[in-house]
Amino acid sequence: MRILLVEDDPDIARQLKGALADAGYAVDHAPDGEEALFLGETEPHDAVILDLGLPKLDGVSVLEKWRKAGMAAPVLILTARGSWNEKVAGFDAGADDYLTKPFHTEELLARLRALLRRAAGHAQPALACGDLRLDPRAARATVNGEPIRLTSLEYRLLHYLMMHQDKVISRTELVEHLYDQDFDRDSNTIEVFVGRLRKKIGPDRIETVRGLGYRLAPLEGEAA
Q: What is the DSSP string of 97-145?
A: EEEESS--HHHHHHHHHHHHHHHHT--SSSEEETTEEEETTTTEEEETT
Please report which confidence band the pLDDT of residue 218 belongs to, taking 50, 70 and 90 as the band edges. confident
85 sits in the region (left: phi over 0; alpha: psi -120 to 50; else beta) called alpha
Please report which confidence band the pLDDT of residue 87 belongs to, taking 50, 70 and 90 as the band edges. confident
224 pLDDT exceeds 60?
Answer: no
Please report which confidence band the pLDDT of residue 160 belongs to, taking 50, 70 and 90 as the band edges. very high
pLDDT in tens, 143-152: 999 999 999 9
Q: What pLDDT shows up at residue 124? A: 85
Identity of the residue numbered 61: S
Which CATH fold would you assign to the domain 127-216? Arc Repressor Mutant, subunit A (1.10.10)
**Segments making up each domain of the chain, as ranges:** 2-120, 127-216
CB–CB of 53/79 below 8 Å? yes
Q: What pLDDT shows up at residue 67? A: 96
Q: What is the pLDDT averaged over residues 58-75?
A: 95
Please report which confidence band the pLDDT of residue 194 belongs to, taking 50, 70 and 90 as the band edges. very high
d(CA 84, CA 200) in angstroms, rounded, equals 49
CB–CB of 120/112 below 8 Å? no
CB–CB of 77/99 below 8 Å? yes
Helix ranges (H only) for the chain are 10-22, 33-42, 59-68, 84-93, 105-120, 152-163, 171-178, 188-201
Class level of CATH domain 2-120: alpha beta
Q: What pLDDT shows up at residue 183? A: 64
CA 4 to chain centre: 9
d(CA 36, CA 169) in angstroms, rounded, equals 26
CB atoms within 10 A of CB 38: 12
Peptide bond before 102: cis, by omega within 30 degrees of 0? yes
Top pLDDT among 80 and 60 is at 60
52 pLDDT exceeds 80?
Answer: yes
Please report which confidence band the pLDDT of residue 21 belongs to, taking 50, 70 and 90 as the band edges. very high
Least confident among 3-12, 113-122, 181-190, 203-212: 181-190
Percentage of the residues of the chain whose pLDDT score is greater than 70: 95
Q: Which of 181, 153, 202 is nearest to 36 (CA)?
A: 181
d(CA 152, CA 26) in angstroms, rounded, equals 9
Percentage of the residues of the chain whose pLDDT score is greater than 90: 71
82 pLDDT exceeds 70?
Answer: no
